[in-house]
């Protein structure tokens, strides 16, 4: 599990212990009467019990509950020349979420090195830089495998453009962002919404209102003036996303015919949800499922933030839905 700070940290394990189970309450008689004679969707919905299975499937977040954490290159303004940005845009065009899942599977499950996986990806996809450049560049990365692999892919295409490139694992955003701004490193693979909120709070204060959106174009427009003020240029955002997501099994999808969270809400009665202990109080977790989608939660099982406990609970049929990360190499 990676250690990105910011928005995804909202679902990291909290220091405050919360109750391990919350229970859905049936509407009172007066609530039912106020609904009139038309049956509600929840009354028509079927009981969708968990279905065990080995294949995990993410249900589409079709109402953009999560903010748009698309992979995007962040570049020191002095290093953001046309050949550099053109090379990075080639990488962005080749990345989507299924591709990112496969890259992570190769490293995290099959135990290949990030450098080898990156080299194979660049070769298999024929990624070449459209413009030539010269000089030395440092690609910095966060200290988790996905980000390191992305950094190696950036480096490979930049080398094709003629640059001498070092890939350097830096650590957390709080460490690599200042290094990027100072020019100690030139490029970092970033995540759009989380980077936006990092800069937003750094410039506008810790209590600044959220400006990132579930729509990537809106998020990139919002961060542009903050990036300019910070001495950073963002390249083209890729279609690849690493953000909170909700997974079930392929067996559950087949049994109930649901592929999106909206379909889950329309099809199923109260379900069993699994995730980190603070999920019942988080806007991007149980609260969002209930308020944005109208999904009813019968009970909540306190597990971890997208880790092995949650994934095992889903595949074992202990929960119908669990919080994961959208680019996890274990996803089908």
**Cα–Cα distance measured from residue 1 to residue 19, given in angstroms and rounded to the nearest whole number:** 23
Read off the pLDDT of residues 259-313 as tens digits, 9 standing for 90 and up: 999 999 999 999 999 999 999 999 999 999 999 999 999 999 999 999 999 999 9
Output the domain CATH number for residue 287: 3.40.190.120
The predicted pLDDT at position 45 comes to 74
Read off the pLDDT of residues 210-245 as tens digits, 9 standing for 90 and up: 999 999 999 999 999 999 999 999 999 999 999 999
The predicted pLDDT at position 44 comes to 57
Residue that finishes a domain, picked among 234, 266, 294: 234
Specify if 315 maps to a domain. yes
Read off the pLDDT of residues 108-156 as tens digits, 9 standing for 90 and up: 999 999 999 999 999 999 999 999 999 999 999 999 999 999 999 999 9
Read off the pLDDT of residues 20-52 as tens digits, 9 standing for 90 and up: 333 334 444 344 333 443 344 444 578 999 999
Specify if 91 maps to a domain. yes
Q: Which stretches of the chain are DSSP H helices?
A: 29-34, 41-44, 82-94, 97-104, 114-124, 145-160, 173-182, 192-204, 216-230, 250-256, 261-267, 286-288, 308-315
The pLDDT mean for the chain works out to 89
**Cα–Cα distance measured from residue 264 to residue 252, given in angstroms and rounded to the nearest whole number:** 10
Buried b (16+ CB within 10 A) or exposed e, 3-31: ebebbbebbbebeeeeeeebebeeeeeee
The predicted pLDDT at position 332 comes to 65
Residue that finishes a domain, picked among 216, 234, 252: 234
- Is residue 226 domain-shared with residue 274, that is, in the same domain? no
Residue that finishes a domain, picked among 202, 234, 266: 234
Q: Does the pLDDT of residue 13 top 80, yes or no?
A: no
What is the number of structural domains in the chain? 2
Specify if 256 maps to a domain. yes
- Is residue 253 domain-shared with residue 199, that is, in the same domain? no
pTM of the entire structure?
0.84
| Contacts for 22 with CB less than 8 Å, ≥ 6 apart | 280, 286, 297, 299, 300
Q: Does the pLDDT of residue 201 top 70, yes or no?
A: yes
- Is residue 101 domain-shared with residue 230, that is, in the same domain? yes
- Is residue 94 domain-shared with residue 76, that is, in the same domain? yes
Q: Does the pLDDT of residue 54 top 70, yes or no?
A: yes
Supply the range of the domain harboring residue 83: 71-234
Specify if 321 maps to a domain. yes
């Amino acid at each position: 599990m990676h250690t990105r700070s910011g928005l995804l940290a909202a679902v990291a394990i909290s220091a405050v212990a919360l109750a391990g189970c919350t229970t859905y309450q049936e509407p009172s008689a007066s609530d039912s009467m106020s609904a009139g004679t038309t049956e509600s969707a929840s009354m028509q919905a079927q009981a969708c019990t968990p279905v065990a299975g080995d294949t995990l499937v993410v249900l589409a977040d079709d109402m953009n509950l999560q903010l748009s954490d698309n992979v995007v290159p962040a570049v020191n303004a002095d290093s953001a020349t046309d050949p550099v940005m053109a090379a990075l845009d080639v990488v962005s065009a080749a990345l989507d979420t299924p591709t990112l899942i496969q890259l992570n599977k190769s490293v995290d499950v099959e135990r290949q090195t990030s450098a080898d996986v990156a080299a194979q990806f660049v070769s298999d996809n024929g990624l070449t830089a459209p413009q030539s450049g010269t000089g030395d560049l440092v690609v910095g990365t966060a200290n988790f495998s996905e980000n390191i692999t992305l950094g190696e892919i950036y480096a490979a295409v930049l080398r094709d453009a003629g640059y001498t490139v070092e890939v350097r694992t830096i650590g957390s955003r709080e460490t690599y962002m200042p290094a990027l701004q100072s020019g100690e490193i030139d490029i970092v693979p970033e995540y759009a919404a989380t980077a936006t909120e990092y800069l937003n709070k750094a410039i506008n204060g810790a209590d600044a209102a959220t400006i990132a959106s579930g729509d990537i174009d809106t998020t990139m427009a919002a961060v542009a003036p903050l990036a300019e003020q910070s001495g950073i240029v963002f390249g083209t955002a890729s279609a690849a996303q690493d953000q909170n997501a909700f997974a079930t099994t392929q067996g559950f999808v087949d049994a109930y015919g649901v592929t999106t969270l909206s379909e889950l809400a329309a099809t199923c009665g109260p379900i069993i949800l699994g995730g980190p202990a603070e999920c019942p109080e988080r806007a991007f977790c149980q609260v969002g499922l209930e308020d944005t989608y109208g999904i009813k939660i019968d009970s909540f099982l306190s597990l971890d933030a997208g880790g092995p406990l949650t994934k095992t609970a889903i595949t074992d049929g202990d929960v119908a839905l669990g919080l994961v990360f959208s680019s996890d190499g274990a996803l089908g």
